[in-house]
C-alpha cells in the first residue's frame, strides 16, 4: 500500500481551497448487515452466507427517528443483501410513509430466493428505486465475479422487475451498476450504458433506466484479489495518477451519512469497512446523533479516497465528472 501514502488531504486542498466537509446531507445510507446469498470476489464488505452481522429492531427504529427529525431526502439500503434483514420491509414502509425516497441496492439473484418470491412486487408497490449490481453484460464477466450461474440468475431477476414495471421510464426506476472485472478503472459511463442497453435489450429483451459505473475500492476482497494477482502496485499507481479535481468536488461523503448495521456512523460506506470513525466532535453513533448531534461535519479522508476521485470519479451515484 506504499503508493497510496501520497497525502490525499493535501491533494484535495490543492484542488479545492476549503477542507472537505459534509454540509449538504441528503442521503442516509444504511448497511443492514453483511449476510448475503452471494460471496462476490470484488465485495468491499466481504459479504456472504456465513456472515451473521445484522441490524436489530432497536437500531432500525433509530434510523427511522433520524429520518423523522432531519431533512434527509433518501434512505439508501445496502448490505450484504439488505433484503435478508428482517427489518428491511418495515424500514421501507415507514420511510415511504414519511415521504422519503427509498433505494434498495439489490444483487438481483436475491429475487429468486423462495422466501423472497414476492419481493419484486413489494418493491414496486412501495415505489422503491432498485439499484441493481450487474458487473458485466456478458456471462463470463458476471460469473467470474459472482460465481457460476450468477449471470442467468441476474437476468431472471431483471425480467421479474421488468414484469412489475421497472426500467420502463416511469416511476419505478431501475438503475444498473457496473464495476470492472479486473484491476482497471471503469470506462466511460455513457458508453457503457449504451453497450448495456444494446446487449440486454437485443439479446435478452431487458430494459433499464440508467447505468452507473463504480470503481473497485482497494479494500477487503478486492484488495485480496489484487494481492493474489500481483496487481497491487499497478492499480494503486493508476488511482493516484488519475486523480481528478473535478471528481473530488462531487464525492458522496459530502451528501451522504453512512450507518453501520450496529448503529455506528461513518462518512461513507468505505470508511465504514475500514472502521474509520468520524472526526472528533462529530456524533459517532445513531444514539449520539439523536441526542445532540449535528449532521454537518468535517470528513475524514485517507489514501483509499483516491478510489473515488480517479478518472471520472466514483460514488454510489456513479461517475462524478465528465
Tens digits of residue pLDDT in 82-127: 999 999 999 999 999 999 999 999 999 999 999 999 999 999 999 9
Facing residues of 211 across strands?
Answer: 176
- Domains of the chain, residue spans: 2-309
Mean pLDDT calculated for residue range 278-297: 91
Neighbours of 115 (CB within 10 A): 9
Which of 60, 123, 112 shows the shortest CA–CA distance to 86?
A: 60
Cα distances (angstroms) measured from residue 160 to each of 77, 151, 152, 165, 171: 20, 14, 13, 9, 16
Contact 212, 195 (CB under 8 A): no
Least Cα distance to 128 among 163, 86, 161 occurs for 161
pLDDT in tens, 128-176: 999 999 999 999 989 888 889 999 999 999 999 999 999 999 999 999 9
The owner of cell 414519511 is 98
The percent of residues above 90 in pLDDT, for the chain, comes to 60
Span 2-309 CATH architecture: Alpha-Beta Barrel (3.20)
Averaged confidence pLDDT in the chain:
91
**For residue 5, is pLDDT > 80?**
no
What's the pLDDT at 2? 46
C-alpha to C-alpha distance for 100 and 115, rounded to whole angstroms: 26
Beta strands (DSSP E) in 88-222 are 101-106, 129-133, 174-178, 210-213
Report the b/e string of 119-140 with b at 16+ CB within 10 A: bbebbbeeebbbbbbbbbbeee
Per the CB < 8 A criterion, the answer to whether 322 and 246 are in contact is: yes
Residue of 215, 247, 238 lying closest to 322 (CA atoms): 247
Q: Which of 11, 42, 26, 22 minimizes the C-alpha distance to 216?
A: 42
Confidence category of residue 322, pLDDT binned at 50, 70, 90: low
Q: Is the pLDDT of residue 301 over 90?
A: no
What pLDDT is attached to residue 6? 59
Q: What is the pLDDT of residue 119?
A: 98
Q: How far apart are CA 208 and CA 176, in angstroms?
A: 7
User: Which residue has better confidence, 320 or 152?
Assistant: 152
* Grid coordinates given for 224: 485480496
pLDDT (tens digit per residue) in 18-39: 778 888 889 999 999 999 988 8
Q: What is the C-alpha to C-alpha distance for residues 253 and 268, in angstroms, rounded to an integer?
A: 5
For 54, 249, 299, the CA distances from 17, given in Å and listed in that order, are 40, 11, 15
pLDDT value at residue 3: 47
Amino acid at each position: 500500500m506504499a503508493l497510496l501514502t501520497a497525502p490525499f488531504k493535501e491533494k484535495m486542498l490543492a484542488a479545492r481551497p476549503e477542507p472537505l466537509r459534509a454540509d449538504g446531507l441528503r442521503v442516509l445510507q444504511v448497511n443492514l448487515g453483511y449476510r448475503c446469498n452471494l460471496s462476490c470476489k470484488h465485495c468491499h464488505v466481504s459479504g456472504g452466507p456465513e456472515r451473521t452481522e445484522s441490524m436489530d429492531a432497536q437500531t432500525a427504529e433509530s434510523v427511522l427517528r433520524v429520518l423523522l427529525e432531519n431533512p434527509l431526502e433518501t434512505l439508501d439500503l445496502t448490505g450484504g443483501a439488505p433484503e435478508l434483514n428482517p427489518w428491511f420491509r418495515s424500514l421501507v414502509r415507514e420511510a415511504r410513509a414519511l415521504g422519503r425516497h427509498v433505494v434498495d441496492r439489490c444483487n438481483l439473484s436475491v429475487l429468486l430466493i423462495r422466501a423472497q418470491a414476492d419481493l419484486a412486487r413489494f418493491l414496486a408497490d412501495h415505489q422503491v428505486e432498485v439499484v441493481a449490481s450487474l458487473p458485466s453484460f456478458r456471462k463470463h464477466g458476471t460469473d467470474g465475479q459472482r460465481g457460476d450461474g450468477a449471470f442467468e440468475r441476474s437476468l431472471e431477476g431483471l425480467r421479474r422487475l421488468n414484469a412489475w414495471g421497472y426500467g420502463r421510464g416511469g416511476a419505478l426506476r431501475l438503475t444498473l451498476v457496473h464495476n470492472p472485472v479486473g484491476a482497471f478503472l471503469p470506462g466511460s459511463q455513457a458508453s457503457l450504458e449504451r453497450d448495456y442497453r444494446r446487449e440486454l435489450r437485443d439479446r435478452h429483451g431487458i430494459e433499464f433506466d440508467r447505468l452507473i459505473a463504480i470503481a473497485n475500492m482497494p479494500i477487503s476482497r478486492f484488495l485480496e484479489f489484487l494481492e493474489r494477482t500481483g496487481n497491487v502496485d499497478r492499480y494503486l499507481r493508476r488511482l493516484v495518477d488519475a486523480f481528478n479535481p473535478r471528481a473530488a468536488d462531487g464525492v458522496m461523503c459530502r451528501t451522504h451519512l453512512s450507518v453501520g448495521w450496529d448503529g455506528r456512523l461513518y462518512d461513507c460506506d468505505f470508511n465504514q469497512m475500514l472502521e474509520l470513525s468520524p472526526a472528533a466532535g462529530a456524533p459517532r453513533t445513531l444514539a449520539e446523533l439523536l441526542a445532540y448531534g449535528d449532521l454537518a461535519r468535517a470528513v475524514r479522508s485517507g489514501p483509499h479516497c483516491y478510489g473515488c476521485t480517479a478518472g471520472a470519479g466514483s460514488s454510489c451515484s456513479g461517475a462524478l465528472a465528465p
